[in-house]
Chain A
């Protein structure tokens, strides 16, 4: 970590002793074409497929945009005002704040737990790591279909219902039952299965960076049980990883789309903001409200992320 700083200090005087005009012309000769060769295609892609659409959406969000994506027919802030009144968009935001409050700590705890377990395993470590990581490679759509059609199928030949029938429990229509809301079982289990492995790997990498000397020192200083070492050594040392994981989980929760779209469609009782905006834009052809909603959501995620960064110190050294 700290190796880079002395190196830079050494390099700086050396550089300043060179003739200055060379530096002003752009560093080492012949590097500029290579720079653009490597960065150019990515930059063009980024601008064309990310930044132009963002700017376009922002512009479009101030126009009516009914059945057209060409800005015009300006309505000022009307689209924003419509969305910020009590209505389906706000209620979807509320639903998903609750959802995030639930899913983020759960995924966090499970992936950290798995990583801790895996870190202590001595045999077949790679095997377990791969097994838990593999679902990450699975598409949300494929997983949703497997969950919907085979595991949580509502009729007697679904896996969950077959298992329940051994205990004499009747068929449960998992996705259609709203009281109790069994559909959350399907959604949450699919999401956990898909996500936990990835965050587990992040935690594992974090765990492996913790110097063993710290644990030795702790033992010498009298840390008696594993809870104490976890509380006072592991957790603080994982701070950077934890903050990054929390951040990614939060963004992911607000961007939930695939499994909700595929499992529940346009159900007003469990509709993430993105699904609502998708149906607003693609279904109703109302691109004005669709883009305005996307901008609100983007701003919201940015604010939450920056606030979180401020509180937890995202990007700071350990």
Chain B
């Protein structure tokens, strides 16, 4: 009797331990779905009558600049074709969006970047018909980076880019020029470092660990030598000898003691620069209004430098967000109509969103060309950098590839890891992914 009791208790204890062990993982997005969970998403009470407008739930990440949330709410309210509810998401937007797309209570339309896995698993719908008439008004890069298997899945809302911001006065005082190569960058950063000010801020993760919007230099390391994550024929592009040297340069910068680490905000926020914690910062164009407000004319921008005078070229990223439509939308056509109304047809709102808050480059060429705010000063320089050097993302570079590559970069740059073996590990993971996707 006692034996049976014991084993039953053991069994239950084991079961309980198992439950406790598994319960800690958010592994089942199926339960709860991580969507807003609000009944309001389903329709704010006006769904019954036949003449009523459809309800749309539109998701955004949190733009840092004041007024952006009110702006998208204003656009939503102005739309005559549907009741649009805006879901503004601070924090980890990607995880929330990913969970939302798995459930039926996710967004109807959302902003993101186009990824081949979303397309292959039929989470999103093609939007070619929305831009058919104006396709020529988008840059080729904006079209190809949102195209998978010949179809367009995302319509660019904003184009973003990175700038190496510097204080003209501080560089003058130190008697140095804006850097044009890795070696110059390291030298200038050291030169500008004082007791209370570091030379350069590239993120608290040294630009290589992509969480909370980090990993700002993962692309720059490769682009500086003219390489990229993947080659055009779907092979890993990050294992060349020049790329490896570029990794070592970033490690040298990290170990130089001249970069700001442990700052209260990360690279995408200009506070560290405007508060004088660093003399130069790699940040987005979006921060330009806040930076000019703090320093007036005492600020300049350059692209991320080339590897050297003879190897590679300057670069920046082509970032930003694209409007997409979920295949699980309750009314796909209504969601597409809203995207077309706002992000294709409504030039006034597009210009407002791109240039009235943080600075972005309007994806429509016709808009960008006449945008007065991009005609002079650092903004004009930035636009030139963007046109000459911006590298578009590749939809085939999946999050899993990116994670493996970033693990290698983190180990190499921050933990003195061996370049060859770490990149070989990443290459293996990327090859497995490429094999899965392209056979």
Which A residues form the contact surface with B (CB < 8 A)? Answer: 48-54, 56-57, 66-69, 87-88, 149, 152-156, 158, 171-179, 251, 254-255, 257, 265-269, 274, 277-287, 290-291, 294-295, 297-299, 301-302, 305-306, 309, 314-315
A306→B10 contact, CB < 8 A: yes
> Which residue from A149, A173, A267 sits with its C-beta under 8 Å from B261?
A173
Residue B24, interface by CB 8 Å: yes
Which residues of chain A come closer than 8 Å to B404, judged between CB atoms? 88
Once the chains are docked, how many angstroms separate the CA of A277 from the CA of B209? 16
| Complex interface bits, B1-42 against A, C-beta within 8 A gives 1, otherwise 0 | 000000001100110011111111111111100000000000
- Out of A266, A298, A309, which one reaches B403, CB within 8 Å? A266
B102 proximal to A (CB < 8 A): yes
CB <8 Å contact, B102 and A175? no
Total interface residues on B, CB under 8 Å, equals: 59
Beyond the given A56-B28, A268-B406, A268-B410, could you list 5 further A-B residue pairs with CB under 8 A, ordered by the A residue number?
Answer: A53-B22, A67-B102, A173-B204, A266-B211, A301-B17
Q: What residue of chain A has the Cβ atom nearest to residue B119's Cβ? A: A67
CB within 8 A of A265: which of B28, B120, B212, B400?
B212
A52 to chain B, nearest CB (A): 8
A300 to chain B, nearest CB (A): 8
Q: Is the CB of A158 within 8 A of B27?
A: no
Complex Cα distance, B237 from A161, in Å, reads 42
B395 to chain A, nearest CB (A): 14
Complex Cα–Cα for A262 and B102 (A)? 25
A52 to B23, CA, bound (A): 11
Give bound CA distance, A287 to B260, whole Å: 36
Complex Cα gap A305–B123 (Å):
41
Which residue of B13, B22, B25 contacts A315 across the interface (Cβ within 8 Å)? Answer: B13
Asked if B274 is at the interface (CB within 8 A of a chain A CB), the reply is no
CA distance A71 to B29 in the complex (A): 13
Please measure, in the bound complex, the distance between the C-alpha atom of A226 and the C-alpha atom of B327, giving whole angstroms. Answer: 71
Inter-chain contacts of A257 with B (CB < 8 A): 24
Q: Is the CB of B27 within 8 A of A294?
A: yes
List B contacts of A286 (CB < 8 A).
Answer: 400
A50 to B27, CA, bound (A): 12
Q: A67-B117, A176-B262 are in contact. Are A268 and B399 (CB under 8 A)?
A: no
Cβ of B123: which chain A residues have Cβ within 8 Å of it?
67
Structural contact, A50 and B23, CB atoms closer than 8 A = yes
Cβ of A83 to closest chain B Cβ, rounded Å: 13
For the complex formed, measure the closest distance between the CB of A269 and the CB atoms of chain B, giving whole angstroms: 5
Question: Which chain A residue has the least Cβ–Cβ distance from B209?
Answer: A267
**Are B400 and A269 touching (Cβ within 8 A)?**
no
Q: Is the CB of A153 within 8 A of B264?
A: yes
Given contacts A154-B204, A291-B27, contact A282 B410 (CB under 8 A): no
Question: Does A266 lie within 8 Å of B28, measured CB to CB?
Answer: no
Question: Which are the 4 A-B pairs with shortest beta-carbon distances?
Answer: A154-B262, A265-B211, A173-B261, A173-B262
Chain B residues lying within 8 Å of A274, measured Cβ to Cβ, are 24-25
Residues of B close to A295: CB separation below 8 A: 22
Specify which chain A residues have a CB less than 8 angstroms from the CB of B206 in the assembled complex: 176
Among B21, B98, B196, B410, find the residue whose CB has the most chain A CB atoms closer than 10 A. Answer: B21
A306-B14 contact, Cβ under 8 Å, with A67-B117, A155-B262, A174-B262: yes
How far, in Å, is B403 (CB) from chain A's closest CB?
6
Does B212 contact A294, Cβ atoms closer than 8 Å? no
A188 to B205, CA, bound (A): 20
The answer to whether A267 touches B410, judged by C-beta atoms less than 8 angstroms apart, is yes
Chain A CB within 10 Å, residue with most, of B26, B99, B416: B26
Among B383-439, those with CB < 8 Å from A are 398-400, 403-404, 406-407, 410-411, 414-416, 425, 436
B95 within 8 A of A: yes
User: Is B141's beta carbon under 8 Å from chain A?
Assistant: no
Residues of B within 8 A of A179 (CB): 415-416
Task: List the B side residues contacting A173 at CB < 8 Å.
Answer: 204, 261-262
Q: Kindly state the separation between the CA atoms of A51 and B17 in the bound complex, as whole angstroms.
A: 12
Q: Tell me the smallest distance from the CB of A309 to a CB of chain B, in Å.
A: 7
Q: Which residues of B contact A265 (CB under 8 A)?
A: 205, 209, 211-212, 214
**Shortest Cβ distance from residue B153 to the other chain A in the assembled complex, whole angstroms:** 14
Most buried by A among B22, B398, B414, B425: B22
Asked if A57 and B28 make an inter-chain contact with CB atoms under 8 angstroms apart, the answer reads yes
Docked Cα-Cα span, A302 to B17, in Å, equals 6
Closest to A248 in B: B20
Contact A155 B19 (CB under 8 A): no
